[in-house]
Amino acid sequence: MLFWRMKKFVIKSIYSIKMKLDLDFIRNEYPSLREDYVFFDNAGGSQTLKRVMDKVTEYYMTSDVQMGGTYSVSVQAKERVNSGSAQIAQTLNAKLAHEAVIGGSSTALIRLFSIVIGKTLNAGDEIIITNADHEANISPWKNLAEQGIVIKTWEFNKETFQLELEDLKKLMTEKTKLVAYCHVSNIFGTIHPAKEFNAYIHSQGALSFVDGVAYAPHRLPDVQDLDADFYVYSIYKVFGPHLGVLYGKEAHLLRLPGINHMFIANDDLPYKFQPGGPNYELTYALNGISDYLQAVAQHHGMEASRPVREQMQFAYDLFDAHEEALAQRLLDFLNSKESVQIIGETSANKDIRVCTIAFVVEGRYSPDIDAKVAANNIGIKTGDFYAKGITKSLDLDQQGGVVRVSMAHYNTFEELERLIAIFETLF
């Protein structure tokens, strides 16, 4: 075990030494980035890879049939769709490809799973939600109160802007069946210690349901390492098509009732949770994301013979270093302004936060700042981002919520300087 860990560390170190992300190479992969528009609302939705678009076209051009036939085009269509879900399962580091359930969005998938999980619970059972989550991971669970499930709220610490384990410990009882929380809040940007949370949740006999939507565009998820029971994210925020993916441990997926046609077998995973089947062309296009991550790794010197997951991790390591530097520049600027309060961690350390940065300016209505920036062909956003528990609890609604600059690995320092120059004129 120790030997393998050391080997992994040595390989990582060899490839990472002074390697900088080649942004020309990266940006060339995104057709929309060839325009003179700056996208800093990436937590809302990322730009899409050309490789993904090409796969959609390829599917329509050569596999546009129903799956399940014995004729060759149908056989190929099935293989293509399955290959897309297998690739996204690998991105999650799921042990088994059929542990990845594809759906229209994270909201849709969480709703669906709240219904099937709810069917296995009894009145008096407890579910813990948070006030730091996007509504997608709150309302579906709250709705289970209608069947007598007790819903408790794990509140974030207003000083640290984090969910803290000590607070969870005060809420959990032997009746707690599930804890639904975010790996990263889409406003604070702070990375929660999900592995530690899950270990505690399991020690109390409950399951974890982790919203990884704000994490996955910035760090490569690893559901096995986190020991998550369920983990969900939105693929359209991770450079891909408008889909969501939900990982569930095989044992849970087998135990839960399906939500597809009644005759679909219980062990027909993930189909029993995909009523109507997944969107074929978009699922096939998921291959474009893993192709991209491998191309990035190889462009930066990693051999194509390395395991795919290792290549993905190397690409993300390059992204993370660049994103940390961008976050540092923006946070340095914001921290230097007395009128600015950062709503989240003030350090750029990549082990602590992602480059989704929210703030308010004293005495300023946040949407006014947004409007001035938008007039300069730069997209940022203001509001509550459906994380209404945060803006309510911090009393920010009257101010129009927070200003959020959410960067991605393809953003450049030139773009950031353009934004900072506008901010300089505003506060």
Ligand X SMILES: Cc1ncc(COP(=O)(O)O)c(C=O)c1O
Q: Does 403 bind ligand X (CB under 6 A)?
A: no
Residue in 48, 63, 114, 186 binding ligand X, rule: CB under 6 A: 186
Q: Does 107 bind ligand X (CB under 6 A)?
A: yes
CB of 22 to ligand X, least distance (A): 29
Q: Does 48 bind ligand X (CB under 6 A)?
A: no
How far apart, in Å, do the first and last CA atoms of the chain sit? Answer: 53
Total binding residues for ligand X by CB under 6 A? 12
Q: Does 348 bind ligand X (CB under 6 A)?
A: no
Per CB under 6 A, which of residues 87..106 are in contact with ligand X? 105-106
Q: Which is nearer to ligand X, 107 or 399 (by Cβ)?
A: 107
Residue-wise DSSP of 210-236? EE-TTTTTTS---HHHHT-SEEEEEGG
State the virtual CA torsion across 101, 104, 106, 108 in degrees, nearest 10: -100
Q: Which residues contact 19 (CB under 8 A, 6 or more apart)?
A: 300, 301, 318
Nearest to 209, CA basis, from 187, 182, 175: 182
CA distances in angstroms from 372 to 46, 381, 422, listed in the order given: 22, 11, 8
CB of 211 to ligand X, least distance (A): 5
Q: Does 192 bind ligand X (CB under 6 A)?
A: no
Q: Which residues contact 22 (CB under 8 A, 6 or more apart)?
A: 299, 300
Q: Which is nearer to ligand X, 98 or 134 (by Cβ)?
A: 134
Q: Which is nearer to ligand X, 101 or 318 (by Cβ)?
A: 101
Per CB under 6 A, which of residues 202..221 are in contact with ligand X? 211, 213-214
Residue in 81, 132, 136, 360 binding ligand X, rule: CB under 6 A: 136
Q: Which is nearer to ligand X, 140 or 258 (by Cβ)?
A: 140
Q: Which is nearer to ligand X, 231 or 292 (by Cβ)?
A: 231
Q: Which residues contact 149 (CB under 8 A, 6 or more apart)?
A: 118, 121, 123, 124, 125, 126, 127, 141
Q: Which is nearer to ligand X, 45 or 308 (by Cβ)?
A: 45
CB of 24 to ligand X, least distance (A): 29
Residue tagged 């990263």 (tokens): 184
CA max distance for the chain: 68
Nearest to 402, CA basis, from 347, 346, 341, 328: 341
Nearest to 410, CA basis, from 19, 62, 30: 30
For 339, other C-beta atoms within 10 Å of its C-beta total 12
Q: Does 234 bind ligand X (CB under 6 A)?
A: yes
CB of 1 to ligand X, least distance (A): 34
Give the residues lining the site for ligand X (CB under 6 A): 105-107, 134, 136, 182, 186, 211, 213-214, 234, 244
